Amino acid sequence: MNTDKIKSASPHALSSLPYADNALSPVISANTIGFHYGKHHKAYVDNLNKLVAGTDFANLPLEKIITQTAGKADKTAIFNNAAQTWNHTFYWRSLRPKGGGGPPAVLKQKIEASFGTVDACKQELATAAMAQFGSGWTWLVLDSAKLKVVKTGNADGPMTTGMKPLLTIDVWEHAYYLDYQNRRKDYVNAVLDNLIHWDFAAENLG
Ligand code: MN
């Protein structure tokens, strides 16, 4: 038995924020980060730990919990909290202070092969974010050898359908409402222009 794995699997920890709570301001305020990371993300982690305690999922790593509960009607609560725990950690890492700009060469080449230009890729991400009805996520993914933009509802992500996530933008209202109210488009464009972490996406190409 691998006790290291058991120790690291449960209880799940709230991953540390990779920058200060005011580091994304003014695009995303410290107030938004305070609620989004300190309340919403933390609640998903806390709920997950309560839900898996004493179950077959208690000692599984987060990714395994997600793939093993996806699409199972009697495991919806565990899936939702596990996936949201993972999605938020990935979202914080998809952003950085003074982000935006141009992607590194290896990613730029793939973006141009799939979308034509970096601007066309950003436009597709923004369009997908606006097209997501209600809560969800917008993703840049690697699907076989091609890059694609996909949108998912609620806690769903691309992992359960075999695509490799490169970066994500949270389009739940809690991600932008304090700063942008109903203006999701302004939030998404500001994130793409000023915060998106292309180097992180390039690392995820693997
Ligand atoms: Mn969120």
How do residues 80-108 score in pLDDT, each as one tens digit?
Answer: 999 999 999 999 999 999 999 999 999 99
How do residues 143-177 score in pLDDT, each as one tens digit?
Answer: 998 999 999 999 999 988 889 999 999 999 999 99
Q: Which residues contact 55 (CB under 8 A, 6 or more apart)?
A: 78
Residue-level pLDDT at 7: 43
CA of 8 relative to ligand 1 center, distance in Å: 24
The Cα 157–Cα 83 span in angstroms is 7
The Cα 102–Cα 105 span in angstroms is 9
Average pLDDT over residues 30-49: 97
Look up residue 28 and give its two tokens. Answer: 């995303």
- Nearest Cα neighbor of 90 from 10, 174, 175, 169 is 169
This prediction's pTM? 0.94
Domain ranges of the chain: 105-204
CA of 1 relative to ligand 1 center, distance in Å: 35
CA of 113 relative to ligand 1 center, distance in Å: 31
Whether residue 1 has pLDDT greater than 90: no
CA of 2 relative to ligand 1 center, distance in Å: 33
CA of 41 relative to ligand 1 center, distance in Å: 7
Instruction: Give me the architecture of the 105-204 domain, per CATH.
Output: 3-Layer(bab) Sandwich (3.55)
pLDDT bucket at 119, cuts 50 / 70 / 90: very high
CA of 120 relative to ligand 1 center, distance in Å: 25
CA of 98 relative to ligand 1 center, distance in Å: 21
CA of 74 relative to ligand 1 center, distance in Å: 23
Look up residue 136 and give its two tokens. Answer: 């969800």
Residue-level pLDDT at 117: 98
- C-alpha separations of 143 from 10, 45, 110, 191 in Å: 31, 28, 12, 24
CA of 90 relative to ligand 1 center, distance in Å: 11
Q: How many CB atoms lie within 10 A of CB 138?
A: 25
